Structure 1
Amino acid sequence: MKRRLLALLIAATGPTLVLADEPRKSEPDRNVYIPGAEDSQGVLRVAAVYNGDRIRIHYEYETNNPSWYHQYWRYEDGEWVRYGSGGPEPDEHGLYEDRISMMLDDGAVEDFMRLGGWITAHEGMRSLSSEIDRDEVRNHPKLGEEMGRRDVRKYLPQTRETDDPEDVSWDAIRDDDELEAMRDDGEFLDLWQWRAHRSHPVGYADNGYVLHYRLSSEGDGMFTDNWDDDADQPAYMFDPDQVGAPALDWERLVAGEYGQNDPYFLSEDNSVAFDPDYDWQEGDTLPQRFLREPSGSRGAIEASGGYQDGAWRIALTRSLDAPDSRDSKALEQGNTYNVAFAVHNGNGARWHLVSLPMTLGLDNGEADIEAQYADGHLDDVDLEWTEIPVFYPGQMTYQDLHGDTHGAGGPLVRDGDLGVLDAHDPEGLADLIIEHELRQLEH
């Protein structure tokens, strides 16, 4: 594996658990956690540069509560117990990573620019109050029996067997020939996911795409589970010769004392096979994820930067050519692309902040975000930043936008006469979405 940790911008100390703004409503048993005003909105700054071969997307996101920790095994009473929740409420120990995501479309996905990320949000998805029972998903011939899934995640409505937007259903997936034809035609959303723990320490962002599910691009991923199913124990521990000990200290971890230049993550470079005969002590802690060098299209996006001066300052770099045309989009000078962004600040699943859909232009002068051309190295151009409001998306779904719960807006959306950019500013839309979720919870 390439040693990329030295490319990080180093922070002196690790994540510190900061109490969140008081939530508007919290009912975890119903998948309900509506953040307070301070936590329900933010600003993501984006800049882009490119040359004849590559494009680089820069992010800046201010937060006083960064997290590059993500789920750990803690030794307790002779057993390894996992910590780190993906929601609904913020993890009490701060053991869930920050993420920044971008969905990218070249115009092949109908209605993405009109509806943004809500084109992928549907009734029955995980973490919604309408979440489908896991046994139903496991028994589904495609999602469960073939793909081994146990929940419903992002998907495009075009992958379901109906032309009625109110009737789009998680289980009515088109046959494989139709899905493969969509991939061949580029009818999918490219998904770039920067992960503070599961990808960044080894110098990558995670490359994926959205079709009938949120899927990974071709190749090996940069993380896998640190667990041996047969032995019922972790598969790897830290190499004591490199790290000084085979495990982290729990109290130091939850106090945020492991900084970005410390071994808070476990990888091919700093690990050895787990030793069950070691004299493990109460509170010894190992990462639940094991990081490695990715391959193929999955590893096509390089990441650099880190948390510095109160903000994540991240740069993602990829070839202009699609690493695989069946799971990634090619980018060309003079063209404009549709994008939408999301920020996860120490939370998982749908508890994140999203942007409205925008345009990204490669030197055409008319897009919301203008990528600057570099006649040489990508470092040799001044950045032009765009400030993008991001806000809590609630439980608003594709079906809601087209349905009666949208009031007078439903028929207009169904007829194609109304989109999320037509009638809403981000702040006003954020308030309407929260009002909608609160009304829905009364039923």
Structure 2
Amino acid sequence: MKKTLMALAVAAAFPALALAEPRLVDTDRNVFIPAEEDARAVLRVAAVYNDEDFRIHYEYETDAPSWYHQVWRYEDGEWVRYGSGGPGPDEHGLYEDRISMMLDDGKVEGFDRMGGWMTAHDGMRSLTSEVDADAVREHPKLGSELGRSDVRKYLPQTRVTDDPEESSWDQILDDDAVDQLQSDGVFLDLWQWRSHRSHPMGYADNNYVLHYRLSSEGTSMFTTNWDDDADQPAWMFDPEKVGAPALEWEALIAREYGQDDAYYIHEGNAVAFDPDHDWQEGDVIPQRFLQEPSGARGAIRAEGGYEDGAWRIALTRSLEAPNARDSKTLEHGESYNVAFAVHSAAGARWHLVSLPMTLGLEDEEADIVARRVDGDLDDADLEWTEVEVFYPGQITYQFLHSDDHPGRELVLEGEQGVRDQHDLDTLPGFIVDMEQQLLRDAD
């Protein structure tokens, strides 16, 4: 019953998603396994560079693009938040599309073999094994120091144990040891293009993965549009610039606000929130406030948009790392390990991912070859590579090293990776079978 209700709710509330009925839905256990036709797609990638900059191009076809994100809706005299990161797609489409790339220069052992799965661990948010928020808040590092209430991507190298199956979210190395790993470059560079929280300002979000998924040095291009003391939004639209202080709910969920409209709130179109305004039922104010970033956090420039049925995006950054402690330098002739992910109006683990691949700067042996050009990157000819992305299930680093994984011994030997033992004709089905089996075992 829950499975059918979820499918109907998504289809009725956001018809543009056109999702087929998911194979399994159990929101109490963070389960949303999409239908086969929604569990695979193709991301087209091309890359070029010159003496100063590197640029990566994405093309991703979708009939249901989302450049919206979470909002505050006025209801019965209160501002109520709408927009969910999961399980599955948001029922109103109020979550941004995202395209991400994790990149390593060979210093993170295992990433070339396991890709993004080496950053996924038991206890992470949105898994059935998700750790209780209070336990994370009470953790001296994640809770007390970082102010977190959930577990996100991390490298197993940052945990105490040498036994992969026993690696645990809460057993973090001491600060000196983590700092040494970072100084040695043992982290993943994470480029996150966000259709709402970064793109309107002309950026992609610069992050990295170490003992947590962390933000690069500098200030973010987005913050939360909320005044805790007054218990109300901090900003509203400037009526003189936008025409009204808020968006309209019915127009929003009908997707009437286009890319050229004021669907996002930022420094240039906002004024301080006026609690005395005659707010109406269904008035909507974006939950994220956009601003100009600084430092390494704002090092990746973004351009493009949704056109002719696809996201067509170009991200540009200097070849030199903007900050060597949170970004990787890219060099002519070198090859890098990469993995991609695509979110469609969903958050957390409800995305499609690629196998680990290589990206080479004029390295012909790489899966994706970045071409060097003289002069302006805008004039470069593009050489496209099709990257298949698919639903990653609940495969974790611990599972890969456990008796539940038929390939455990090969993983422990450390010489073969997922691409050596699996192909894309069978791996997506195997992943779903494993998730369903793990859920049955937990019953």
TM-score, structure 1 normalization: 0.96
* Contact kept? 2:188, 2:208, Cα under 8 Å: yes
SS of residue matched to 2:38: coil
2:91 is aligned to 92
Q: Displacement of 1:153 after TM fit?
A: 0.3
Runs (4+) off by over 3 Å? none
| 1:355 alignment partner AA | S
Counterpart among 417, 424, 427 of residue 426 in structure 1: 424
Distance 1:16 1:371 in 2: 38
SS of residue matched to 2:143: helix
Report the CA distance shift for 1:16/1:54 in structure 2 as closer, same or farther (over 3 A). farther
Which range moved further: 262-271 or 423-432?
423-432
Q: Displacement of 1:418 after TM fit?
A: 3.0
2:10 is aligned to none
* Contact kept? 2:89, 2:344, Cα under 8 Å: no
Alignment of 1:102-113 (within 5 A): 102-113=101-112
Distance 1:28 1:103 in 2: 28
Alignment of 1:185-224 (within 5 A): 185-224=184-223
1:165 is aligned to 164
Q: Displacement of 1:18 after TM fit?
A: 2.3
CA deviation vs aligned residue, 1:252-301 (integer Å, no higher than 9, x gap): 00000000000000000100000001010111000000000000000000
1:66 is aligned to 65
Distance 2:100 2:229 in 1: 35
* Contact kept? 2:107, 2:187, Cα under 8 Å: yes
2:296 is aligned to 297
Alignment of 1:327-406 (within 5 A): 327-406=326-405
CA deviation vs aligned residue, 1:57-77 (integer Å, no higher than 9, x gap): 000000001100000000000
Mapped pair 1:52 → 2:46: no
1:266 is aligned to 265
CA deviation vs aligned residue, 1:200-242 (integer Å, no higher than 9, x gap): 0000000000000000000000000000000000000000000
Distance 1:330 1:282 in 2: 51
Distance 1:235 1:439 in 2: 47
* Contact kept? 2:16, 2:63, Cα under 8 Å: no
CA deviation vs aligned residue, 1:349-381 (integer Å, no higher than 9, x gap): 000000001111111221110111110000122
* Contact kept? 2:155, 2:211, Cα under 8 Å: yes
2:415 is aligned to 417
SS of residue matched to 1:116: helix
| 2:252 alignment partner AA | L
Distance 2:425 2:159 in 1: 32
Q: Displacement of 1:92 after TM fit?
A: 1.3
Distance 2:210 2:427 in 1: 26
2:131 is aligned to 132
1:436 is aligned to 434
Q: Displacement of 1:19 after TM fit?
A: 3.2
SS of residue matched to 1:421: helix
Count how many residue pairs are aligned between Structure 1 and Structure 2: 428
Distance 1:89 1:16 in 2: 15
| 2:431 alignment partner AA | I
SS of residue matched to 2:93: coil
| 2:323 alignment partner AA | D
1:11 is aligned to none
2:7 is aligned to none
Distance 1:335 1:21 in 2: 42
Mapped pair 1:308 → 2:342: no
| 1:165 alignment partner AA | P
| 2:77 alignment partner AA | G
| 2:423 alignment partner AA | D
Distance 1:199 1:335 in 2: 29
Distance 1:319 1:72 in 2: 34
CA deviation vs aligned residue, 1:34-55 (integer Å, no higher than 9, x gap): 0001110000000000000000
Q: Displacement of 1:427 after TM fit?
A: 3.3
Distance 1:404 1:116 in 2: 20
Distance 1:211 1:87 in 2: 24
Could you tell me which runs of 5 or more consecutive residues in structure 2 were left unpaired when the two chains were aligned.
Answer: 1-13
Report the CA distance shift for 1:417/1:364 in structure 2 as closer, same or farther (over 3 A). closer
SS of residue matched to 1:427: coil
Distance 2:416 2:372 in 1: 34
Q: Displacement of 1:17 after TM fit?
A: 3.3
Alignment of 1:143-154 (within 5 A): 143-154=142-153
Distance 1:338 1:413 in 2: 18
Q: In proportion to residue count, which structure has more helix? A: 2
Q: Percentage identity across aligned positions?
A: 70
Q: Displacement of 1:16 after TM fit?
A: 6.6
| 1:395 alignment partner AA | Q
SS of residue matched to 2:305: strand
| 2:86 alignment partner AA | G
TM-score, structure 2 normalization: 0.96
Could you tell me which runs of 5 or more consecutive residues in structure 1 were left unpaired when the two chains were aligned.
Answer: 1-14
CA RMSD of aligned residues (A): 0.9
* Contact kept? 1:90, 1:347, Cα under 8 Å: yes
* Contact kept? 1:58, 1:316, Cα under 8 Å: yes
| 1:100 alignment partner AA | I
* Contact kept? 1:361, 1:367, Cα under 8 Å: yes
CA deviation vs aligned residue, 1:69-92 (integer Å, no higher than 9, x gap): 000000000000000010003211
Q: Displacement of 1:244 after TM fit?
A: 0.3
Distance 2:376 2:304 in 1: 17
CA deviation vs aligned residue, 1:148-190 (integer Å, no higher than 9, x gap): 1000000000000011111100000000001111111110000
